[in-house]
């Protein structure tokens, strides 16, 4: 699969979600206190992301 979500635990003990495309990290979320919250973030991105507007600030 060319893209994936990855949950990691940082040095502070918080869980973070990384979105990877062809093994390159495209974005990382804020830190979450629990793995369940990180999983909820993934579901929110999947649900709300496709309809998100594009802001071109160039």
Tell me what pLDDT residue 2 has: 86
- Write the pLDDT tens digit of every residue in 36-53: 999 999 999 999 998 899
Give the model's pLDDT for residue 23: 87
Which of the listed CATH numbers 3.30.1600.10, 3.40.50.720, 3.40.50.300, 3.30.160.160 matches domain 3-49?
3.30.160.160
Dihedral (Cα; 50, 51, 57, 58), 10-degree rounding: 50
In this prediction, residues 15-36 reach a mean pLDDT of: 96
pLDDT above 90 covers a percentage of the chain that reads 90
pLDDT the model gives residue 1: 65
* Closest listed residue to residue 4, CA positions, set 52, 42, 36: 42
How much is the pLDDT for 28?
96
What's the whole-number average pLDDT of the chain? 95
């Amino acid at each position: 699969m060319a893209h994936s979500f990855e949950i990691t635990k940082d040095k502070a003990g918080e869980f973070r979600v990384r979105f990877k495309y062809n093994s390159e990290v495209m974005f990382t979320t804020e830190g979450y206190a629990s793995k369940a919250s990180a999983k909820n973030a993934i579901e929110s991105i999947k649900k709300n992301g496709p309809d998100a507007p594009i802001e071109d600030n160039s």
